[in-house]
Structure 1
Amino acid sequence: MPKRRILSLWFPRLGAERLIRAARGLQDGPLAVVAEQSNMQVVTSLNAEAQAAGLRVGQPVRDAHAMCANLVTRPRNTPAEAAFLTALRRWAGKFSPWVAEESPDGLIVDLSGCAHLFGGEEALLNVLEVDCADMGLSVQMGIADTLGAAWALARYAGQEATSDRNGDAISQEARATRARAGKRRHWTKGGTAPQVMTLGGGARIAAPGQSYGALSPLPIAALRLEDQVVAQLNRLGLRRIGDLLGQPRASLARRFGRGLVLRLDQAMGSAPEPVSPARPPHHFAVRMTLPNPIGLIEDVMAAIDRMLPTLCTKLEEKGRGVRTLRLEAHRADQAAEIIEVGLARPTYDKHRIRPLLEMKTDKIDAGYGIDMLRLEAIQTEPIHARTMAGHAEARRVARERLDGNTAVDDLIGKLGARVGLEAITRHHPVASHIPEKTAQTLAAAWSEPAHDWPPSPRPRPLLMWQPEPVMAPETPTVPSAFRWRGRDWQLAQATGPERIAPEWWLDDPNWRSGVRDYWVVVTEQGERLWLFYGHGGTMSAGWFCQGQFG
């Protein structure tokens, strides 16, 4: 079996070069793709001329215009970039059947047993370079035994780890540190040099079994770590991957988390990181290209009325219902407006989906006009995947389907379109005798209504909260007068006690007061409160109020 070889393709100017391919008038001059992040317009992609002018990705647009007066900016179209990357994935399928997308601007190719069909790895990279040049794309490539090593070589090979301190970093280091740094660069004193081959176009190849030496001189950021972790390691003087390889693993995991050790293992091949190109088996989407741009809500809804039946027919043929639906409105200025709606139950009924889309179309900014609309079912589920709990449950579900009783589901969907489906919840019973644990909160859109609640041994209050201290004599007898929430209360009637013991097999901090005696207390002011006397346990005894009856 051939040794595993992974190719990483990185398109550093994907967003800008996609626009240049689509609009030939943008070929001359610096170009920047911008998007809004944290209420600020920032650069997300640059062409070669803009990078030569000193601009960088992540830079605020106002700073970029100050540095380059003739800079041309275009809004980012995230769906179009994702579709373009998918098209590149299909193109890369001619080199290997095992290709995966690495959003937002990369591809991972498993070359195991495929490189010899193109005359070897060097010849294959030459073919890749020619193809990308013909497509007008800049590309950097890396080949290694692991995904992590190939990713690092494609993006960081040839870069030296720099210090974040001012002045000469070597002269500022301690004497012992300089001695260790000299030992790390062992290949300058007769050791084996890392076998990394740099070709034209930014290609890097690490020979089989040479991942350790190839990655050692690279910056720590090549391990796909978070910026915060990279900054912490740099402050400690650990700037190259080789500096980490000799450190104790237990101390690294304890101080920087297991993610750092995992990335090291993945890059060196100790931890598996498969290339998984599998895509969802079902894909439901329709689109409409308009001859003239539109901008009115009525026109958008008219287009939806023509697309939605086609989408629902495709879903019905496959026996699936949509749970999350996305509407993309592509504008004439190459930007895209996106809205998503969620449904409480999977369905392919257009009459239940249309009102949800209509509620959100007013959020679409048409700009200079919309020339293409696209509907896509992001999340689908089998429409008949239900587990029947006996004949009674089956009859109830069948009756609901015959009667068309979907009012509650439609209400949840409409409310979810405004506040989010996660904000709508319902309670389900839980097998526990502890009052505050008798119910659990579930998302209404992903749970069934609760039926047959177990009967409670005693009435429970309508409102329940964490126990609040009550100023009263510390005796088990119900006090005739007590003070709670800054007010004095007089006892009119008391019913009880109901003794509830804690769950001894669980260490619940709220129940360390031991056994509780609950009383339904009616005050002369007319309030019905739920008081209990805690017998101590690991805490002091006393009276508390935990609820109020309606």
Structure 2
Amino acid sequence: MTHRRILSVWFPRLAAERVLRLERGTITGPFAVISIDNNTETLASLSTEAEAEGLRVGQPLRDARAFCPELLTRPANLPAETTYLTMLRRWAGKFSPLVAPEPPAALMLDITGCAHLFGGEEGLTDALTADCTDLGLTVQTGIADTPGAAWALARFAGQQDQSIRSGDAIDQEARATRSRSAKRHWTRGGPAPRSFLHIPAPVIAPPGMTRQAIGPLPIAALRLTPAAAVNLARLGVRRIDDLSVLPRAALARRFGRDVVRRLDQALGVEPEPITPARLDITFATRLSLPEPIGLDSDILAAIDRLLPPLCDKLRQHGRGVRRLQLELFHPDRTRQSLSAGLARPSHDPDQIKPLIALKLTGLDPGFGIDVIRLEAIVTEPVHARQHSGHAEALADAQSRRDRGTAMEDLLTRIGGRIGLEEVRRLHPADSHIPEKTATVMAAAFSEPALDLEDPPVPRPLVMFPPEIVSTDDPGRPPIRFRWRRFPFVTRTAMGPERLSPEWWLDDPNWRSGVRDYWRLETENGTRLWLFYAHGSESSGGWFCQGVFA
């Protein structure tokens, strides 16, 4: 029978070592990452030098400064730490395809059937530890038949059970003084925190020996809440062996179902599945050059080598690129990024290359380019269709011929210069209000409306917000009026067309009430669209809102 084997990987100094790796050796000496807990700055992660100075995780920063005045600190960055853990999760995929992140600083791997690829479980943990050492990361590992047991071995292997009594007599006496003593630093009678100065070797529980491997560990290794661990320790239950011999029903009544569940999960009585993170498909290609290049022709030659494999990968997954990013890395560790968008998804290199060439105009290569990376950062499905017969295939070919791709190609080229979001088209909207009969949408991300109905009455070619018209003529429409400081005389008029505001909406532009629209042709040939507002919440009068062709 094949036993399920689980590997727990814990990075006890992940937050601090992430910053140290990012700073590239500019930080020397004791270092800590701080977080705010109950309005108090506390140490969240420490470097090896900081722990050697006697500092501990959870210690207030003011006390740490007293112990170690030269301590350097950085605030915690949870989003960056989450991203870093995601990168480590992807790296751990070399050891097992089933990797689940355990924030904030751990991974859980199902290595069933994988260890023989590395010469056994010891060889796998040795390879993992060596890689972490190269990355500058401290790691503790544990292998067992269950996730709970592997978690316990990675964190608590080699530790003796800890008594609830801290040696502070006040901590065991009066309630008022007991509440204060819990906040004491460990050097003044409080319980001593754990140290990671001496990282234990990887711990491997033989298959079928889970109970014997985790039995001597403290009950905190069962992932219990601190309150439950304290209550059990007060009753003398300090090791997992002490807890496993107790009746399950009595435990559940006294301490809750969670204690029994955690114990059964660690021993394999209750199943605990691992939910691996979904595999991220990255559509990218990369080319490292032996010597830096700087000419546009050389860059395009490199792109000719990058585009075909990228498009092949997109085609295999039924995807087309909508936005492409080109990254150019320089020898001085700087980089440039160029992006290009397409009006429709495509995996055709002949359509994509001209857009990249357009973006290279005016590029400053600096000291040269030694690495080029091409990535499709936005993709969309491109479905292949199988026709049911010759007639359907002919109809589809005629449709593609009539519609063509010239418009999409034009939008792509224009968008490459001014941005795809800046090229817009009008779409019909369901409203009788003149300024709401159409909506503006990005042309590259919308389909054209082909079945447009003519309006029941003509609408002006150019429409603008209502502008005041001055007139002393009481007639409707006025014979003589002034608009934009120019006098006009009406020759012909058609109307009125009465439009009422949308009563279910409070539109500030329609607070003047019902409008009567007129189409006027003046003696100088100008055709205007005037309306008379009858007045409601605001005063009425004559206004001009458009010009006909």
For 2:21, the aligned partner's letter is E
- Cα offset, 1:376, TM superposition: 1.6
Change (3 A) 1:138 1:528: same
Aligned-pair CA distance for 1:526: 3.0
User: What is residue 90 of structure 1 aligned with on the other side?
Assistant: 91
Residues 412, 444 of structure 1: 8 Å contact kept: yes
Alignment of 1:111-510 (within 5 A): 134-137=133-136, 187-188=179-180, 197=193, 199-200=195-196, 208-210=224-226, 277-280=277-280, 282-362=281-361, 364-384=363-383, 398-402=397-401, 405-473=404-472, 477-510=476-509
Q: Distance between the aligned counterparts of 1:9 and 1:444, measured in 2?
A: 50
Q: What percentage of aligned pairs have identical amino acids?
A: 40
Q: Is the CA contact (8 Å cut-off) linking 1:89 and 1:107 kept in structure 2? A: no
> Does structure 2 retain, via aligned residues, the 8 Å contact 1:521–1:528?
yes
Q: Does structure 2 conserve the Cα–Cα contact (< 8 Å) formed by 1:9 and 1:107?
A: no
> CA shift at 1:485, angstroms?
2.5
Residue 427 of structure 1 deviates from its aligned partner by 0.9
| TM-aligned CA distance change 1:303 to 1:131, over 3 Å | closer
TM-aligned CA distance change 1:492 to 1:405, over 3 Å? same
**Cα gap change, 1:128 to 1:310, in 2 (>3 Å):** closer
What is the alpha-carbon distance in structure 2 between the residues aligned to residue 197 and residue 207 of structure 1? 17
Distance 1:542 1:186 in 2: 81
**Cα distance between partner residues in 2 of 1:290 and 1:540:** 72
Counterpart for residue 77 of structure 1 = none
Equivalents in 1 of 2:439, 2:94: separation in Å? 48
TM-score, scaled relative to structure 2: 0.56
Post-superposition offset of 1:455: 1.2
Distance in 2 separating the partners of 1:94 and 1:196: 36
Distance 1:405 1:415, change over 3 A: same
Give the TM-score normalised by structure 1. 0.56
Distance across 2 between alignment mates of 1:522 and 1:185: 94
SS of residue paired to 1:298: helix
C-alpha distance in structure 1 between counterparts of 2:402 and 2:192, whole Å: 70
CA–CA distance in 1 between the matches of 2:396 and 2:541?
50
Q: Distance in 2 between matches of 1:393 and 1:540?
A: 61
Task: Report if the CA contact (8 A) 2:532-2:541 is conserved.
Answer: yes
Q: By how many angstroms is 1:345 displaced?
A: 0.3
- Partners of 1:538 and 1:286 lie apart in 2 by 63
Aligned counterparts of 2:28 and 2:192: Cα–Cα separation in 1: 35
Change (3 A) 1:196 1:277: farther
Q: May I ask how many residue pairs the two structures share in their alignment?
A: 381
Residues 476 and 452 from structure 1, CA distance in 2 versus in 1: closer, same or farther, beyond 3 angstroms? Answer: farther
Q: Aligned-pair distance for 1:107? A: 6.0
Structure with larger Rg: 2
- Check the 8 A contact 1:287/1:373 in 2, yes or no: yes
Task: Report the CA distance between 1:412 and its aligned residue.
Answer: 1.1
One-letter amino acid of the counterpart of residue 493, structure 2: A
Alpha-carbon spacing, 1:334–1:185, altered in 2? closer, same or farther (3 Å): farther
* Cα distance, 1:331 vs structure 2: 2.0
Q: Which moved more, 1:519-528 or 1:346-355?
A: 519-528
Q: Give ranges in structure 1 of 5+ residues lacking alignment.
A: 1-5, 21-25, 31-46, 59-80, 115-126, 142-183, 212-274, 387-391
Of 12, 17, 21, 1:17 maps to: 21
Q: CA deviation at 1:332?
A: 2.0
Distance 1:365 1:48 in 2: 43
Shift of residue 467, structure 1, vs aligned partner: 1.4
Deviation at 1:523, TM superposition (A): 2.4
Secondary structure of residue in 2 paired with 1:431: coil
- Change in CA separation of 1:131 and 1:434 when aligned onto 2, cut-off 3 Å: same
Secondary structure of the 1:135 match is helix
Measure the CA separation in 1 of the matches of 2:531 and 2:338.
51
Q: Does the 8 Å CA contact 1:12/1:139 hold for their aligned counterparts?
A: no
- Kindly state the Cα deviation for residue 403 of structure 1 after the two structures are TM-superposed: 6.6
Alignment CA distance shift 1:502-1:368 (3 Å): same
Given that residues 356 and 417 in structure 1 are in contact (C-alpha distance below 8 angstroms), is that contact kept between their aligned partners in structure 2? yes
**Residue 492 of structure 1: CA displacement?**
2.5
Q: How far 1:302 moved relative to its partner?
A: 0.8
Report the residue type matching 1:381 in the other structure. Answer: E
Deviation at residue 452 of structure 1 after TM alignment: 1.6
Question: 1:196–1:516: structure 2 CA closer, same or farther, 3 Å change rule?
Answer: farther
User: Which residue type is aligned with residue 525 of structure 2?
Assistant: G
CA contact (8 A) 2:285 2:306 kept: yes
| Unpaired segments ≥5 residues, structure 2 | 1-9, 30-46, 50-68, 76-81, 112-125, 141-175, 200-220, 228-274, 386-390
Alpha-carbon shift at residue 9 of structure 1 (Å): 7.0
Q: Deviations over 1:300-325 (max 9, x none)?
A: 00111122122222222332211111
Deviation at 1:189, TM superposition (A): 6.8
Distance in 1 (alpha carbons) for counterparts of 2:291 and 2:180: 67
Could you report, residue by residue, the CA deviation over 1:248-292 in whole angstroms, capped at 9, with x for unpaired residues?
A: xxxxxxxxxxxxxxxxxxxxxxxxxxx993344x43222222222
- Distance in 2 (CA, whole Å) between partners of 1:448 and 1:202 is 64
How far, CA to CA, are the matches of 1:393 and 1:503 in structure 2?
46
Residue 518 of structure 2 corresponds to 519
Write the distance in 2 (CA, Å) between the matches of 1:383 and 1:393: 19
Report Cα offsets for 1:179-199 as digits up to 9, x if no partner.
xxxxx9993277999999553
Q: CA shift at 1:456, angstroms?
A: 0.5
Judging changes above 3 Å, is the alpha-carbon distance between structure 1 residues 133 and 322 closer, same or farther for their aligned structure 2 residues? Answer: closer
C-alpha change, 1:355 and 1:531, in structure 2 (3 Å) is same
1:147-195 CA-partner distances (Å, limit 9, x unpaired): xxxxxxxxxxxxxxxxxxxxxxxxxxxxxxxxxxxxx999327799999
